[in-house]
Amino acid sequence: MDSAEFRVKGKEMVDYICDYLDGLGSRRVTPNVEPGYLRRLLPGEAPQQPEEWDSIMRDVDDKIMPGVTHWQHPRFNAYFPSGNSFPSILGDMLSDAIGCIGFSWAASPACSELENIVMDWFGRAIGLPDEFLSSGKNSKGGGAIEASASDCILVSMLAARAQVIRYLKEDQPDAEDSVFLPKLVAYCSREAHSCVEKAAMICMVKLRVLDPDDKCSLRGATLRKAMEEDEAEGLVPFFVSCTLGSTGSCSFDNLVEVGPVCRSFPCVWMHVDGAYGGNAFICPELRPLMAGIHFADSFNTNPNKWLLVSFDCSCLWVRDRIRLTSALVVDPLYLQHDHSDEAIDYRHWGIQLSRRFRSLKLWFVIRRYGIAGLQAYIRNHIRLAKAFEELVRKDDRFEVHNDVRLGLVCFRLKGTDRLNQDLLASINGSGKLHMIPSLVRGKYIIRYCVVAEHASDADIDHAWEVIQKHATELLEPSVEKDVPVPVKAAPVIPTKPDPSQRRLSRRLSFTRSVSREVFKRSMSRSSLHDGATPIIVPDDEDNINSDLEEDVFSSSCTIEDDRLAIVEEKE
């Protein structure tokens, strides 16, 4: 493709994107395909000869799009938002065109400098303490854009691990670093994201998962008790990860209590994960939710979740950049250049050497919307979530299960988990609305998240209508039928569902059923939720037959959890 063709096809692509996004409302939200559908449609080998662009695009329409879950659909209310604003799309397009690999200042000065400036802009805009900004007075801190919150938490834990090993080596200077690993303990709440567990796994340290209070908030006394117990056992507490806006129920840990506990131990790094919720602090009235942030050593938020920036863009700030980079620096000679003393070399701030020009899209978004535009976007989502909460509360078949403070409402039908699983499966199976479940205080709840950039009251009303209709069909199966309902209806005996329907709906309830034995073991593990891992239910609370069961395990479809697969194999 030369630039003449690119001018034409590029403009066509812009039209294609606009038609796609404008026409989303008339599509199903979730695709109606079985695992392996695409392999049947595409050739087994790559083409030897170049193909015409138009023929490739025809396959996008006919083969790819039918298997896409439309995250930007107005009825997509699952997970958290995924930014895709036009300024951000254009920013990424330009970044791809420049195609620089900004591992050091010299590798592309504007790439490093813009990242540095935008991280200060954004940090200031969400009210972070000055110590986290590189332009703050006498500041030792600063920020970097990482690929994901999982990276932010991993590199923070790596920095904390390096810090505590340095500390422990003061007494045992000749010991190998790895000698200390079995002693190190990290902490988080049961509400924390599963990436904390993954980070602990990679760092080869223990993770102690603590019970939050009845508002799903981690409290200082709980943490102190656990850390003191561990210390008495000869272990070394070194890292605490708190959450502002948890994935399961958008709860907030109590930093005002947790902070002083961390400070009272000799060498504990406190991280604060605000992957979704952190973006909201761009609104000054929401900053009370981050009270205690000045105790933190590091903080992350993902503008690619809730600030209209497209994936990937996860912002990490640290109080002391040397403590971060000293855990990650290798600095071979061939990457050194003349400016190493005064310029930021972002390769020392994360795992990867090569880095995209990600700050461009954040810069485009901040400038094009202005802080005021971004505040209006956040406030609209919160207003709509509260409106949805009102609708749920007015229907006494339902109950709300979280404090609705940002854009997430957790609700369920009064009744069993099974009933709610069926409700969610039937809604998701209809393709009219998409939500995912979570566990809040051990109960299966349905998460309704306001997601679309221009979400409106009409979207909320429509979603609630769909939910009510499916609930009514489930609770009173005779009501919606065409046959006139007899005055004195006989009790309804549910017919045995068609197995393939059953399989699809099971997948769409985002649960996985396992033997009671495996269920008990999974409960005793620290497994944290993340919205992507299926929720485990014991199969004896379920009347599904065994050949079906096997299929659910093996094909496992849209949701994967290798760890669980391992546990199951050992069975």
Ligand X SMILES: *Cc1c(COP(=O)(O)O)cnc(C)c1O
Residues that bind ligand X (CB under 6 A): 80, 148-150, 193, 195, 243, 246-247, 273, 275-276, 302, 314
What angle separates helix 359-394 from helix 457-475, to the nearest 10 degrees? 50
| Comparison of 306 and 464: residue with beta carbon closer to ligand X | 306
Q: Closest distance between ligand X and the C-beta of residue 247, in Å? A: 4
| Comparison of 314 and 420: residue with beta carbon closer to ligand X | 314
Residue in the block written with tokens 């209809």? 430
Q: Closest distance between ligand X and the C-beta of residue 529, in Å? A: 10
| Comparison of 154 and 518: residue with beta carbon closer to ligand X | 154
SS3 content of the chain, % helix, strand, coil (to 5): 50, 15, 40
Q: What whole-number distance in Å separates Cα of residue 398 and Cα of residue 414?
A: 5
| Comparison of 80 and 349: residue with beta carbon closer to ligand X | 80
Q: Closest distance between ligand X and the C-beta of residue 48, in Å? A: 37
Q: Which is it for the CA torsion 275, 277, 279, 282, positive or negative?
A: negative
In the numeric block, which tokens belong to residue 263? 């400070």
Q: What whole-number distance in Å separates Cα of residue 534 and Cα of residue 444?
A: 11
Count CB-CB contacts under 10 A for residue 233. Answer: 9
| Comparison of 302 and 375: residue with beta carbon closer to ligand X | 302
| Comparison of 275 and 455: residue with beta carbon closer to ligand X | 275
Q: Are 269 and 163 in contact (CB under 8 A)?
A: yes
Strands 236-243 and 436-440: unpaired
User: Sheet holding 408-413: strands in order across?
Assistant: 398-400, 408-413, 443-449, 436-440
| Comparison of 222 and 243: residue with beta carbon closer to ligand X | 243
| Comparison of 114 and 195: residue with beta carbon closer to ligand X | 195
Q: Closest distance between ligand X and the C-beta of residue 82, in Å? A: 10
Give the ranges where 438-515 is alpha helix by DSSP (H). Answer: 457-475, 499-508
| Comparison of 194 and 513: residue with beta carbon closer to ligand X | 194
| Comparison of 447 and 506: residue with beta carbon closer to ligand X | 447
| Comparison of 149 and 293: residue with beta carbon closer to ligand X | 149
In the numeric block, which tokens belong to residue 505? 């709906």
Q: Closest distance between ligand X and the C-beta of residue 122, in Å? A: 16
Strands 236-243 and 184-189: parallel
Q: Based on DSSP, count helices (H) and strands (E) in the chain, helices before strands.
A: 17, 13
Q: How far is CA 406 from the centre of its chain?
A: 15
Q: Closest distance between ligand X and the C-beta of residue 276, in Å? A: 5
Q: What whole-number distance in Å separates Cα of residue 299 and Cα of residue 518?
A: 36
Q: Which residues contact 274 (CB under 8 A, 6 or more apart)?
A: 243, 244, 245, 281, 290, 299, 300, 301
Q: Are 464 and 389 in contact (CB under 8 A)?
A: no
What's the farthest any 2 CA atoms get from each other in the chain?
Answer: 88
Written as one letter, the residue type at 19 is: D
Q: Are 270 and 243 in contact (CB under 8 A)?
A: no
Q: Closest distance between ligand X and the C-beta of residue 292, in Å? A: 17
Q: What whole-number distance in Å separates Cα of residue 65 and Cα of residue 32?
A: 11
Q: What whole-number distance in Å separates Cα of residue 147 and Cα of residue 89?
A: 16
Q: How far is CA 227 from the centre of its chain?
A: 28
Q: Closest distance between ligand X and the C-beta of residue 365, in Å? A: 17
Q: Closest distance between ligand X and the C-beta of residue 313, in Å? A: 9
Q: What whole-number distance in Å separates Cα of residue 427 and Cα of residue 418?
A: 14
In the numeric block, which tokens belong to residue 15? 């039209």
SS3 category, 336 = coil
Q: Closest distance between ligand X and the C-beta of residue 257, in Å? A: 19
Q: Closest distance between ligand X and the C-beta of residue 63, in Å? A: 27
| Comparison of 275 and 286: residue with beta carbon closer to ligand X | 275
Q: What whole-number distance in Å separates Cα of residue 327 and Cα of residue 318?
A: 13
| Comparison of 273 and 389: residue with beta carbon closer to ligand X | 273
Q: Closest distance between ligand X and the C-beta of residue 196, in Å? A: 8
